[in-house]
């Protein structure tokens, strides 16, 4: 077989335009590697007017999604609509029509992946989604194939470029969250409604997919505790530096087998202090990196642009090439999309939040008078939380209150929360205590 593979694209926005560019500018190397040409034959979008600055000659370009999904010249459909509604309908219809699908839609897969992957498996077509996690980084492929010999023990990822940009800028400039977010929005690094990014929801969607692939666990987006970065202050970055850390928004997942022999998953998205000389600490700006630890390979790390027109298009077109290779060989479905076949994905228990062990950074806002620190430390002690170090800062908060920064030894989150509940009710404590987890072994 030496025919071209035909591609249909639904949604000609930024990423879609990047896909058209990559297929055009690298047509020669792609054909050399693949053996046949990979051709964009049809594009559907409601906006037929905007000039995207790419040459669409020879491509059928209209608003007829149904026509594209039924077009026999289209072997692979790229879904770049986003959201759960039309995107889901289009994806399932493409599968039903025997088309392979490439998507960058983590939200859709995190919530409806089970239904979509099962439909694809039955139809004997591939659903590829490398672009949905880590942008241009080939992280999903690495987990599914490169690390396939390993029992995955843990993973730690900077998986959202917007928040990493904001955190890097807050650290560098000492400015408040709101100021930096506004600038990020002006520069196009953050959306007008930044909720999905800054509240950790986007990272949690991605973590959901990684947890399934790492541990063979069913997709369980709703079960992932998620905390964003809105509450961080310039002082937290200073304190992190003093203690030898930097602050990153991490998606973290660990497999823990208890004394009862049952494997439980500990997954969450939260701001985290990471050791200053770790690789993850040195991932700045809009870049992403995911560290994956396997029982045989030990720690590995994958770094690159987590978003953007061309990096994301790189991942989409990489998927097109992989599927084209399978089309040529008749080997679709060679690798299960979530690494394990759907029927092997099992519901895995989670480590209850209260039992999760971590060192913590705590910021208390207290009256500047003798004895207050003693009250706090004794409440922590009564709850079994022991203290590693304390820094008392000169008063910077309003109302005569001063911040006290404290690092704990590893402690169960439940114990820390109980202690904080009690401490925050003290008359001498004038604002809710802030907590940032610390991860060392990443």
Binding residues (CB under 8 A) for its own copies: these are 18, 21-22, 25-26, 29-30, 32-35, 130, 136-138, 141-142, 145-151, 216, 277, 279, 282-283, 289, 294-305, 310-311, 313-318, 320-322, 325-326, 328-331, 334-336, 339-341, 344
CB of 12 to its own copies, least distance (A): 17
Q: Please give the C-alpha separations between residue 87 and each of 79, 108, 144, 314, in angstroms, as whole numbers.
A: 7, 8, 25, 21
Annotate 35-91 with three-state secondary structure: CCCEEEEEEECCCCCCCCCCCCCCCEEECCHHHHHHCCCCCEEEECCCCCCHHHHHH
Q: Are 255 and 267 in contact (CB under 8 A)?
A: no
Distance linking the first and last C-alpha atoms of the chain: 46
Contact between 432 and 424 under an 8 Å Cβ cutoff? The reply is: yes
CB of 250 to its own copies, least distance (A): 17
Q: Give, for 253, the enclosing helix (H) or strand (E).
A: strand 245-257
- Pick the closest to residue 250 from 216, 283, 293, 212 (CA basis): 283
Closer CB to its own copies, 240 or 320, in the complex? 320
143-158 burial code (b ≥16 CB/10 A, e <16): bbebbeebebbbbbbb
Closest distance to its own copies from the beta carbon of 369 (Å)? 42
Which residue, 193 or 277, is less far from its own copies as judged by CB?
Answer: 277
What is the spatial distance between Cα 291 and Cα 297, in angstroms, rounded to a whole number?
Answer: 12
The alpha carbon dihedral of 272, 275, 279, 281 has a sign of positive
Q: Which is nearer to its own copies, 43 or 204 (CB)?
A: 43
Residue 180 or 345: the one with the smaller Cβ distance to its own copies is: 345
CB of 11 to its own copies, least distance (A): 18
The four Cα atoms 151, 154, 160, 164 give a dihedral, to 10 degrees, of -140
List, by residue number, the catalytic residues: 206
CA–CA gap between residue 20 and residue 25 (Å, rounded): 9
Nearer to its own copies, 108 or 137 (CB): 137
* Residue among 265 and 411 whose Cβ is closer to its own copies: 265
Which one, 151 or 369, has the nearer CB to its own copies? 151
Inter-residue contact 122 to 331 (CB < 8 Å): no
Q: How far is the CB of 15 from its own copies (least distance, A)?
A: 11
Strand 401-408 and strand 387-392: the pairing is antiparallel
Backbone angles phi, psi at 270, to 5 degrees: -165, 155
Q: How would DSSP label each residue in 378-414?
A: HHHHHTT--EEEEEEPPP-SSTTEEEEEEEEPSEEHH
CB of 333 to its own copies, least distance (A): 8
Contacts of 122 (CB under 8 A, 6+ apart): none
Of the pair 316, 419, the CB lying nearest its own copies is at 316
Question: Shortest approach of its own copies to residue 246 CB, angstroms?
Answer: 12
Please report how close the Cβ of residue 341 comes to its own copies at its closest, in angstroms.
Answer: 7
How is residue 213 written in tokens?
């692939």
């Amino acid at each position: 077989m030496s025919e071209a593979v035909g591609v249909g694209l639904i949604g000609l926005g930024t990423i879609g335009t990047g896909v058209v560019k990559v297929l055009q500018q690298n047509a020669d190397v792609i054909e050399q590697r693949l053996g046949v040409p990979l051709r964009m034959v049809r594009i559907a979008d409601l906006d037929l007017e905007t000039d995207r600055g790419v040459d669409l000659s020879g491509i059928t370009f209209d608003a007829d999604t149904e026509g594209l999904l039924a077009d026999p010249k289209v072997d692979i459909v790229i879904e770049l609509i986003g959201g759960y509604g039309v995107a889901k309908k289009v994806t399932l219809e493409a599968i039903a029509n025997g088309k392979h699908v490439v998507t960058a839609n983590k939200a859709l897969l995190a919530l409806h992946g089970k239904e979509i992957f099962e439909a694809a498996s039955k139809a004997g077509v591939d659903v590829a989604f490398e672009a949905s996690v880590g942008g241009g980084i080939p992280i999903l492929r690495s987990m599914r194939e490169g690390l396939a010999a390993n029992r995955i023990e843990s993973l730690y990822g900077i998986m959202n470029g917007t928040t990493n940009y904001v955190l890097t800028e807050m650290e560098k400039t000492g400015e408040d969250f709101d100021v930096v977010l506004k600038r990020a929005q002006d520069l196009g690094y953050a959306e007008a409604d930044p909720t999905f990014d800054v509240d950790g929801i986007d990272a949690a969607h991605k973590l959901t997919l990684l947890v399934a692939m790492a541990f063979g666990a069913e997709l369980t987006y709703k079960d992932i505790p998620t905390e964003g970065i809105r509450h961080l202050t310039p002082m937290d970055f200073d304190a992190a530096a003093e203690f030898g850390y930097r602050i990153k928004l991490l998606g973290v997942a660990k497999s823990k087998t208890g004394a009862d022999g049952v494997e439980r998953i500990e997954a969450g998205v939260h701001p985290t202090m990471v050791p200053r000389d770790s690789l993850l600490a040195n991932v700045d700006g809009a870049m992403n990196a995911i560290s994956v630890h396997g029982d045989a390979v030990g720690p590995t790390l994958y770094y690159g642009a987590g978003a953007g027109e061309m990096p994301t298009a790189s991942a989409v077109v990489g998927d097109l090439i992989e599927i084209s290779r399978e089309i040529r060989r008749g080997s679709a479905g060679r690798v299960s999309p979530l690494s394990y076949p759907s029927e092997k994905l099992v519901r895995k228990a989670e480590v209850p939040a209260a039992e999760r062990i971590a060192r913590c950074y705590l910021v208390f806002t207290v009256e500047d008078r003798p004895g207050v620190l003693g009250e706090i430390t004794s409440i922590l002690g009564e709850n079994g939380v022991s203290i590693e170090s304390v820094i008392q800062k000169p008063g910077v908060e309003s109302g005569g209150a001063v911040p006290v920064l404290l690092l704990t030894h590893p402690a169960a989150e439940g114990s820390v929360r109980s202690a904080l509940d009690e401490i925050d009710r003290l008359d001498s404590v004038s604002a809710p205590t802030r907590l940032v987890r610390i991860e060392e072994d990443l």
